[in-house]
Structure 1
Amino acid sequence: MEKKDILFVGIGEAGGKLLNEILKKDKRYVGLYINSNYDDFADLETANDNMYIITAGQGTGKNRQKSKALLKSNINSIMDEILKYRTSEVVHFLFSLGGGTGGGSTPTIIKALGKLQKNGRFNKIINITCILPAYDEGKRYRKNAIECWNEIAELENINSIYMLDNNSKKDEEEINIEFARQFDIFMNMSKNTPSKELKSRIDAEEIGNLATSVGSTVFYELPNANINLEVSIAEALNSSIFATSEEDVSKCEYVGIVTQEGLYNQKEIENMFNPEEYTVGAYSKEHNFIVVTGRPPQKESIETLKESIEEEEQNKTNDNVLSNLKVHTDIDTKQPEAVQKKTQQQIQKSKIETLEEKSVDDLLEDDDLWDDIF
């Protein structure tokens, strides 16, 4: 597999920013932008005639349901846009789990492509790179992420999952730049010298196997000074932009290794990951890089999002914030009897006049009304 064989589809603002960094890395990468807000394209140097604007929308305001509603009138056109890229072997979606447009529409788009796969109109492999919101981001982002992930988990036509973590020590822009750089190292692995230790070489076919393995894929970049392999792996994990898992090094399908010759023992690296299939390796003049594929997806990261929401709601006070604003006074406010009677009459009259308004309030609180609208 070569760079030109992958169609990257950046959906929403976050997906578009990540796609922009990938396309800037190498002109051989192919990209399609999909968004509901035209303004999001303003600062993307690589967005030109490769854009699709979801019509009738000016963004979704992180509202997944609004995104789905807009998608209904655009889904056929989006399918046509993707099908235009006939030579691509892989369609790789980029999006934020917590977003409105990206997280709200991507699972539905993939589901629609699945229907085309079943009737023979679409025969490409589907991969995704999804971005996990930080645990201290707004509750809506985190709830969106959980809902989006649950929809992804129901899909059966996704191969590789790359989950980037906004909880890493880098900010969003740094994560995007880092992923684009690391993905490019991955795709260039076939250019390196074959490994003597593993008695293997990484060719375009091996890149294809690594790039389409079913399950989670992560990249590890080892330090250029090998003190101890376990320490180096731990350091790579600590600086990783990927969501972590308790099963990080315990189960995988394939492993690809490029290291500076003599710096790391590639056989030891293979034994540490112990892939179910095989390991391929090569020597690089500058990189110490590992690709691990076919891992269990990082469900623990989604569960941590859920726990952060539950903890936040548990700590939320139920006190009426206005209760502390009452001004207490000992002044006698008792009115003359005649004034009291008049006041009671006015109150009764007011109740009658506002009955219709109260009925409207009750109606607005009726969930059935909103169910009918949405």
Structure 2
Amino acid sequence: MKKEDILVIGAGGCGNRQLNELMKLDARYGGLFLNSNLSEMDELEYFDKDRRCFYISNADGCGKDMEKMKQFAKEEAPKFYVMIKKFTQPYFLFLASANGGTGSMATLMYAKLIKSKCSEKSINLAITFPALTETSTDFENAIQFWNEVSALKKNNIIDSIQYIDNNKGSEKEVNIKAMKQLDESFNMVNGKLDTSDSLKVHSTVGYKVFLKLDENIENREEAIDTAIKNSMFYMPSNFECDKMIGDINTNDFSIKFIKEEFECYDFSKFNENTDNETKILLGGCEMPKETIDLVCEALKELKNKKRKRVVEEDIIIKRNKPTNASKKDEVPTKSRITSSDLNELFADDSFWDN
């Protein structure tokens, strides 16, 4: 599909960095950096405070507090709506982390807002789930996000969903590789495949899967297994789908083989080539339950470890009270400053001259 028809909203620190990586690959994407912490956006190459910025001012981040961000998002909703109406792209893609405060909650809140006010837009998600070394707050936020996305999907507010696996390397490595694979999935317009075919699959409701098959692997089934393993995205337990397109190098793979390996129910279309790599895009797959199962298990283990944790009591050191302290050495008993004290203190302008 045409990349100029895609508005990518990078929400929160994670989404900001991923959007920057995506725009490095192709500047034709429309980009909007959204954050409550200006410093996380300001250092990025493609950030433009005049054209590509929605800043929730005076928030200074929200410390992974999703409820705090929910209130911020409500307060800033009128401004966001005015800004988003200026973008004409039909396809909106949110990038964010599931475990943050700003990115995850802004995605949930503003997906609803966009769909209610601009129902013709296709709302899609590519969300990063936390590594299993994170904290209980991260896991609890991710579980909340999973549940709320499921409700949005059920209510036809969002279309395609992809979940990035943050266990597959450092944050920087994951961002670079995931954005490269995401960009490649939008490059599948070739020969018999046109932009409408691509858009149809990219906006199919459900989980989306992109695979690139390695022609150097002689065993065809092994090539598929390797493509699944090398993906930076979580994979569903099976690959039955509603829609599928493929750009197939017939020197390496046959369309018959692809159809046998991937069950498609509603729409499929293939382009045959003899020069390019073999790429497959599936839309409308089932959600990958492994994503949330791993998070729930990690949270359970962390709670068990915390329950077994032994914290020694603080040691209280007794001190002998001096017997010869003079009155001038005594600590004042009045510790709080009242409004009357402050008024009296600043009543005389000569205070500022000292």
Scaled by the length of structure 2, the TM-score of the pair is: 0.82
Q: How many Å separate the matches in 2 of 1:33 and 1:325?
A: 49
Partner of 2:62: 60
Amino acid at match of 2:141: N
Written as runs of structure 1 = structure 2, the 5 A alignment for 1:124-203 is 124-155=121-152, 156=155, 157-168=157-168, 170-191=169-190, 193=191, 201-203=192-194
Partner of 2:250: 261
User: Cα distance, 1:184 vs. partner?
Assistant: 2.7
Partner of 2:202: 211
**Is structure 2 residue 286 aligned with structure 1 residue 288?**
no
Written as runs of structure 1 = structure 2, the 5 A alignment for 1:44-83 is 44-48=44-48, 49-83=51-85
Q: How many Å separate the matches in 2 of 1:215 and 1:127?
A: 10
Do the aligned residues in 1 keep the contact of 2:178 with 2:233 (CA within 8 Å)?
no
Do the aligned residues in 2 keep the contact of 1:79 with 1:113 (CA within 8 Å)?
yes
The verdict on how the C-alpha distance between 1:70 and 1:206 changes in structure 2, with shifts beyond 3 A counting, is: same
Q: Deviations over 1:131-158 (max 9, x none)?
A: 1111121221111111111111111210
Partner of 2:333: none
SS at 1:167 equivalent: coil
User: Cα distance, 1:30 vs. partner?
Assistant: 0.5
Amino acid at match of 2:269: V
Q: How many Å separate the matches in 2 of 1:186 and 1:69?
A: 35
Give the total of aligned pairs: 312
Deviates more, 1:256-265 or 1:91-100: 256-265
SS at 2:281 equivalent: strand
Written as runs of structure 1 = structure 2, the 5 A alignment for 1:351-362 is none
Q: Deviations over 1:294-347 (max 9, x none)?
A: 1012233112211211122123344541159799xxxxxxxxxxxxxxxxxxxx
User: Cα distance, 1:105 vs. partner?
Assistant: 2.1
Amino acid at match of 1:40: E
Do the aligned residues in 2 keep the contact of 1:270 with 1:279 (CA within 8 Å)?
no
Identity of aligned residues (%): 30
Partner of 1:241: 232
Q: Deviations over 1:200-257 (max 9, x none)?
A: x21111011111111010111222313212111111111110112222x2x1112222
**Is structure 2 residue 120 aligned with structure 1 residue 123?**
yes
SS at 1:66 equivalent: helix
Do the aligned residues in 2 keep the contact of 1:214 with 1:294 (CA within 8 Å)?
yes
**Is structure 2 residue 6 aligned with structure 1 residue 16?**
no
User: Cα distance, 1:187 vs. partner?
Assistant: 2.3
Do the aligned residues in 1 keep the contact of 2:204 with 2:284 (CA within 8 Å)?
yes
Scaled by the length of structure 1, the TM-score of the pair is: 0.78
Do the aligned residues in 1 keep the contact of 2:208 with 2:284 (CA within 8 Å)?
yes
Q: How many Å separate the matches in 1 of 2:127 and 2:42?
A: 22
User: Cα distance, 1:40 vs. partner?
Assistant: 0.4
Q: Deviations over 1:71-110 (max 9, x none)?
A: 2221111111111102x11111111001110012211111
Partner of 2:112: 111
SS at 2:189 equivalent: helix
The verdict on how the C-alpha distance between 1:319 and 1:295 changes in structure 2, with shifts beyond 3 A counting, is: closer
Do the aligned residues in 2 keep the contact of 1:245 with 1:301 (CA within 8 Å)?
no
Partner of 2:330: none
Q: What value does the CA root-mean-square deviation take over the aligned residues?
A: 2.1
Q: How many Å separate the matches in 2 of 1:324 and 1:72?
A: 43
Do the aligned residues in 2 keep the contact of 1:55 with 1:70 (CA within 8 Å)?
no
Amino acid at match of 1:275: C
The verdict on how the C-alpha distance between 1:311 and 1:180 changes in structure 2, with shifts beyond 3 A counting, is: closer
Do the aligned residues in 2 keep the contact of 1:160 with 1:213 (CA within 8 Å)?
yes
SS at 1:276 equivalent: strand
**Is structure 2 residue 200 aligned with structure 1 residue 225?**
no
The verdict on how the C-alpha distance between 1:319 and 1:25 changes in structure 2, with shifts beyond 3 A counting, is: closer
Amino acid at match of 1:50: R
Deviates more, 1:46-55 or 1:296-305: 296-305
User: Cα distance, 1:54 vs. partner?
Assistant: 0.5
Q: How many Å separate the matches in 2 of 1:188 and 1:116?
A: 30
Q: Deviations over 1:173-221 (max 9, x none)?
A: 2222223322332222213x4xxxxxxx211110111111110101112
Structure 1, unpaired ranges of 5+: 194-200, 328-374
Q: How many Å separate the matches in 2 of 1:182 and 1:284?
A: 21
Do the aligned residues in 2 keep the contact of 1:254 with 1:278 (CA within 8 Å)?
yes
User: Cα distance, 1:266 vs. partner?
Assistant: 2.3
